[in-house]
A and B are shown apart, each in its own frame.
Chain A
Amino acid sequence: MATWKHGWELWERLTERNMNKKNLLFPLRSLSCFDQLCLKHCIRSQPSASRKTCNSEFMESRRTLLRRYSASSSEYYFPGAIGAPYTDKLELIAGEKEGRIPCFRIMNELGEVSSAIEKEYHPDHQVEPSMMTSMYQHMLKLHVMDTMLYSAQRQGRISFCMTSFGEEATAIGSAAALETADVIFGQYREQGVLLWRGFTYRDFCNQCCGNALEPAKGRQMPVHYGSKELNFVTISSPLATQIPQASGYAYGMKLSRSKNITVCYFGEGAASEGDFHAALNFAATLECPVLFVCRNNGYAISTPAKEQYRGDGIAGRGLAYGIDSMRVDGNDLWAVYFAVKEAKRRILETNRPLLLELLTYRGGHHSTSDDSSRYRQKNEIELYSERLSPLRRMKHFLAFRNCWNDEMDEKYIEEQRKELLTALEEAEKAPKAPLEDLFNDVYDQLTPNLQRQKTMLFEFLERQKRPTHSS
């Protein structure tokens, strides 16, 4: 019969051996599974005891624990749930609770900051006015870029586009709270993060036009951005594939004792994929310093959130994996900014993952291949795009502090439009990748099989005098 006492006896034996060392590095693997679990729980519940050299404090905490889990009680502690108390009441834990997880918000729709906000996360106390304006300007840039690239697709200048209307605060707010050295695994609606980090209009347009100047040399569809320098991993179309990859990358970062974290973005629809479950479970059990950011924008193409899941959103799932989670108003730039800042600090301190759910609304269509008016009401779209818009409330916030006004707004938007148009025109004219590039990068070096296929292709093209360059 294994009891809590067992864990403490082990502890005593081992601490006698390691008493003078600062970090207790037990030969844990030599112990049985159950012993390991007991010990780990001991250490966690008495964190200061792990650095103990003082006997009396140690003995006191040991006595407390022995009192609590005395051998006289007939309590067993199964490996699956050590510390779970027994109960004699047949009561279910409600699957669909009455109350929802509360949503953290700093400023309301009109840009007014609540007086109850603590100083540690009050923008007026923590952020310089120049930074405030810069963040708003980036949100405007993002909005302008999305609008114009969408029209460019409609005019046939690029073949495909996805916009992030309504989600400007999620991208800019989170990016501003991170460093460029924090690695990003995105889904496809996080171009704002790249924009903040310094990806220029030229870079975006090059990728959308698929020309030879962009990092992927025109191999991927538009909006599938990637930048090794800016630590933004290339977007991959299938949903949720990036989530377990982020857990893995974070694990690597932990082993190399990095001072940075991995951040993984996904939508509430992608959170239904099996990869989401596996990734969160791994991050929790292997203790990976990864921040999971869910942009819960209410729609997955046409599937509304109420058909995507029954639980309390995505934040409600963190508990199941043992991951700390938080729900944030994704349209409130400050809430997002401070939540991500705090999340990063926590992750670096504890080396454990964190789950943030940003509640927001997808203002535009899923992509240029979708027409959302078929499945949502116009007045719903207008409500979120106007009254609850992240841009509007930030504009009011700045206007109240005399940092911005309507005139500056119009002028800035006009400037950005001109800049983007120039960038798009240049990107359209830039050359596409040559045919010689077709077989490169499949492997690090051409295999004999591919070399033969390449030779055959070029012989054929020569004979037929077909073009080897896009016009």
Chain B
Amino acid sequence: MNKIFMFEALRSAIDEEMSKDETVLVIGEDVGHYGGSYKVTKDLHLKYGDLRILDTPIAENSFTGMAIGAAMTGLRPIVEGMNMGFLLLAFNQIANNAGMLPYTSGGNYQIPIVIRGPGGVGRQLGAEHSQRLETYFQAVPGLKIVACSTPYNAKGLLKSAIRDNNPVLFFEHVLLYNMKQEIPDYEYTLPLDKAEIVKEGKDITIITYSRMRYHVLKAVDRLIEKNVDPEVIDLISLKPIDMDTIIKSIQKTHKACIVEECMRTGGIASEIIARVNELIFDYLDSPIIRLSSQDIPTPYNGLLEQNTIVNSEQIINAIIKQLNI
């Protein structure tokens, strides 16, 4: 066991998969000798060469399309978006091609592509660099979406994503790259479609993902002092959502609160609430609350930016209100 940063965990996942399987390659801007803008692919080009760690010109739609084409012929590309917001340029390729081709070709073409990169609201990066794309992509059929939140799950999930034969969107968070955690030396993978029960409890189910996990945990420490025992679930898989874990939890606690970083309208929470209503409405004692970001572009100004996303105090407030304490 040794303590490493999240970006190092991601790098070791890519390194291990590339050394095992020579069809795996990395495509992106400045991933080669520059090492990637968050250092995830640092020095990999020395080991695997310029063709397997491929630097591209600046054309996201085109190199995503290129990766999809390569995937159809048997390669397993990992596309790095310098910032997930730039993937909006590649939306056409991802939605119309990666998501659809296995289906429209009658299963004749598989697209084992992984598209990864940093997203989420950082520290004063301005609106275009603070995009959360998970909600836009969750409606696209044929895609799998995963959001990692710790170095341990980042490595395990990325390895599974690379081995998976479907297109996987792998969302990292720009502020979590410098997180340190001990991870095992032995090889391990994590399933792409299972949520993680971070803490067991009985009073209320808190569902979250990515960086909001840490705000939730901070809130939970304070709630425990007030004798509340929440159960915290980290979604991990945003598409398909692990409804089994959520259902079992709500059947136990009968109340739920969803904390997400994406915008309120059409967010991940809206999907979960709709499904819970359909499947286990009778188990709920009160409506599910969702805490999400405001429906506005993220401003640069520090105070305004802080008030755009959810903070732990809002979480504590909402839960106390729901539990009538």
Partner-B contacts on A (CB < 8 A): 159-160, 210, 217-222, 224, 236-240, 269-270, 272-274, 300-303, 307-309, 369, 374-375, 432-433, 435, 437-439, 442, 449-450, 453, 457, 460-461, 463-464, 466-467, 469-470
Question: CB within 8 A of B124: which of A221, A273, A438, A450?
Answer: A221
Partner-A contacts on B (CB < 8 A): 29-30, 33-34, 37, 55, 57-62, 85-86, 88-89, 123-129, 264-265, 294-297, 299-304, 307-308, 313-314, 317
The answer to whether A453 and B313 have CB atoms under 8 Å apart is no
A303 and B304 in contact (CB under 8 A), knowing A375-B34, A438-B294, A442-B297? Answer: no
Question: CB within 8 A of B58: which of A273, A449, A467, A469?
Answer: A273
Return B228 CB to nearest CB of chain A, in Å. Answer: 18
A325 to B321 Cα, complex, angstroms? 66
Return B220 CB to nearest CB of chain A, in Å. Answer: 18
Contacts of A453 in B (CB 8 A): 264, 294-295
Question: CB within 8 A of B295: which of A302, A375, A450?
Answer: A450
A220 to B300 Cα, complex, angstroms? 5
Closest 8 CB pairs of A and B: A221-B126, A272-B57, A302-B34, A218-B301, A237-B128, A470-B303, A219-B299, A272-B58
Residue of A nearest to B60 (CB): A273
Contacts of A240 in B (CB 8 A): 58
A375 and B33 in contact (CB under 8 A), knowing A432-B301, A438-B308, A439-B294? Answer: yes
A375 to B307 Cα, complex, angstroms? 39
Return A431 CB to nearest CB of chain B, in Å. Answer: 11
The answer to whether B304 and A307 have CB atoms under 8 Å apart is no
* 5 A–B pairs (Cβ distance < 8 Å), ordered by A: A222-B300, A301-B34, A374-B34, A432-B302, A453-B295
A238 to B91 Cα, complex, angstroms? 15
The answer to whether A303 and B29 have CB atoms under 8 Å apart is yes
Residue of A nearest to B265 (CB): A449
Question: CB within 8 A of B57: which of A160, A221, A269, A432?
Answer: A269
Contacts of B85 in A (CB 8 A): 238
A274 and B33 in contact (CB under 8 A), knowing A224-B126, A307-B55, A460-B317? Answer: no
Instruction: Count chain A CB atoms within 10 A of each CB in B58, B127, B129, B302 and give the residue with the most.
Output: B58
Question: CB within 8 A of B129: which of A237, A239, A309?
Answer: A237
Dominant SS at the B interface? loop
The answer to whether A303 and B295 have CB atoms under 8 Å apart is no
Instruction: Count chain A CB atoms within 10 A of each CB in B127, B129, B299 and give the residue with the most.
Output: B299
Contacts of A450 in B (CB 8 A): 294-296
The answer to whether A435 and B303 have CB atoms under 8 Å apart is yes
The answer to whether A274 and B62 have CB atoms under 8 Å apart is yes
Contacts of B59 in A (CB 8 A): 272-274
Return B259 CB to nearest CB of chain A, in Å. Answer: 15
Contacts of B86 in A (CB 8 A): 238
Contacts of A219 in B (CB 8 A): 127, 297, 299-301, 304
A217 to B299 Cα, complex, angstroms? 10
The answer to whether B62 and A301 have CB atoms under 8 Å apart is no
The answer to whether A303 and B124 have CB atoms under 8 Å apart is no
Return A357 CB to nearest CB of chain B, in Å. Answer: 17
Contacts of B33 in A (CB 8 A): 302, 375
Return A370 CB to nearest CB of chain B, in Å. Answer: 9
Return B304 CB to nearest CB of chain A, in Å. Answer: 5
Residue of A nearest to B317 (CB): A460
A301 to B33 Cα, complex, angstroms? 12
A269 to B57 Cα, complex, angstroms? 7
The answer to whether A435 and B307 have CB atoms under 8 Å apart is yes
The answer to whether A307 and B301 have CB atoms under 8 Å apart is no
A287 to B307 Cα, complex, angstroms? 46
Residue of A nearest to B296 (CB): A442
Residue of B nearest to A160 (CB): B124
The answer to whether A274 and B89 have CB atoms under 8 Å apart is yes
The answer to whether B317 and A464 have CB atoms under 8 Å apart is yes
A270 to B88 Cα, complex, angstroms? 16
Return A449 CB to nearest CB of chain B, in Å. Answer: 7
Residue of B nearest to A437 (CB): B304
Contacts of B57 in A (CB 8 A): 269, 272, 300, 303, 307-309
Residue of A nearest to B62 (CB): A274
Contacts of A221 in B (CB 8 A): 124-126, 129, 300
Residue of A nearest to B313 (CB): A464
A28 to B22 Cα, complex, angstroms? 60
Residue of B nearest to A271 (CB): B58
Contacts of A307 in B (CB 8 A): 55, 57
The answer to whether B29 and A301 have CB atoms under 8 Å apart is yes
The answer to whether B29 and A220 have CB atoms under 8 Å apart is no
Residue of B nearest to A433 (CB): B301
Return B312 CB to nearest CB of chain A, in Å. Answer: 11
A219 to B55 Cα, complex, angstroms? 33
Return A152 CB to nearest CB of chain B, in Å. Answer: 15
The answer to whether A210 and B300 have CB atoms under 8 Å apart is yes
Residue of B nearest to A269 (CB): B58
A469 to B300 Cα, complex, angstroms? 15
Contacts of B89 in A (CB 8 A): 238, 273-274
Contacts of A217 in B (CB 8 A): 301
Contacts of A374 in B (CB 8 A): 34
A7 to B17 Cα, complex, angstroms? 64
Contacts of A432 in B (CB 8 A): 301-303
The answer to whether B58 and A433 have CB atoms under 8 Å apart is no
Instruction: Count chain A CB atoms within 10 A of each CB in B125, B296, B299, B304 and give the residue with the most.
Output: B304
Contacts of A435 in B (CB 8 A): 303-304, 307
A460 to B127 Cα, complex, angstroms? 24
Return A412 CB to nearest CB of chain B, in Å. Answer: 33
A423 to B295 Cα, complex, angstroms? 35
Return B45 CB to nearest CB of chain A, in Å. Answer: 12
The answer to whether A460 and B314 have CB atoms under 8 Å apart is yes
A270 and B58 in contact (CB under 8 A), knowing A210-B301, A457-B307, A464-B313? Answer: yes
Residue of A nearest to B82 (CB): A301
A449 and B55 in contact (CB under 8 A), knowing A220-B127, A221-B124? Answer: no
A113 to B241 Cα, complex, angstroms? 70
Contacts of A236 in B (CB 8 A): 128
Residue of B nearest to A277 (CB): B59
Contacts of B124 in A (CB 8 A): 159-160, 210, 221
Contacts of A469 in B (CB 8 A): 303
Return A398 CB to nearest CB of chain B, in Å. Answer: 38
Contacts of A220 in B (CB 8 A): 126-127, 300
Contacts of A218 in B (CB 8 A): 299-301, 304
Residue of B nearest to A438 (CB): B304
Contacts of A464 in B (CB 8 A): 313, 317
Question: CB within 8 A of B30: which of A272, A301, A467?
Answer: A301
